[in-house]
Every structure is written in C-alpha cells, then in structure tokens.
Amino acid sequence: MADAPNPRDNIRNFIPKLIEMTEDVVFGDIWERPGLSKRDRSLMVVSALIALGKERQMVGHFNRALDNGLTVDEIKEIITHLAFYSGWPTAMTGATIFKEVLEKREGKA
C-alpha cells in the first residue's frame, strides 16, 4: 500500500499539543507496551471504534490492523460479531468503511 497522508497532519498546526500527545503517549508509549502484541491492540481498537461508531478513525485503524497482522476474514468476523453487541447500524457502518479500505488498498477506489 502506498503511504497515505497521515490524518494527524491535517491538524498538526491547529492543535500541536494534541498531536504531540498522540504521537508520544498513544503511539510512542501505549502501543509499544510489551503486555499485548500490536495485532491484539489493533483487534481491540478496531472493535472499540466499530462499537462506538467512530467512523473517521476506522479507516486508519483498519489499515493499521491489516498491517499488524489481522486478516481480512478476522476483521469481517469482528464486524459480524459486534452486530449483536453494539448494534446493527454500527456493524453496517464498519462493514461499509472496511470494504472501502480494502478497495483502496487493492487500487480499486
């Protein structure tokens, strides 16, 4: 996959402290802790974003999840499973966004 623009760059000059904490704390510390693999962290984050309906963050984290070793089939299963816990609309939104992510990764979008 070609390097996509980092969404953080859109607000880096607008709220620099938020981006600093995102990079230093979230991705520099939390994501690097040894207690869970990045794959497992991606599984949790993708699940939480789907359940909470956080559409804008799903795109980046679906890509991160695939890069961290989750398979397409595993993410499809996460979405299906969550339909019964977080609601049908959140699952359908997640499915739509995940399909778009895959199409873009495959160069079809």
Two tokens, residue 104: 């873009």
- Is 1 part of a structural domain of the chain? no
Residue 94 and residue 71 share a domain: yes
Task: In whole angstroms, give the CA distance from residue 11 to residue 19.
Answer: 8
Q: Which domain holds residue 75?
A: 37-109
Does 41 lie in the same domain as 88? yes
Do the beta carbons of residue 50 and residue 58 sit within 8 Å? yes
In a domain, 2, yes or no: no
Task: Provide the whole-model pTM.
Answer: 0.88
Q: Are residues 68 and 32 in the same domain?
A: no
Local structure of 85: helix, strand or coil:
coil
Q: What is the pLDDT along the chain (109 residues), one digit of tens a residue?
A: 445 567 788 899 999 999 999 999 999 999 999 999 999 999 999 999 999 999 999 999 999 999 999 999 999 999 999 999 999 999 999 999 999 999 999 997 5
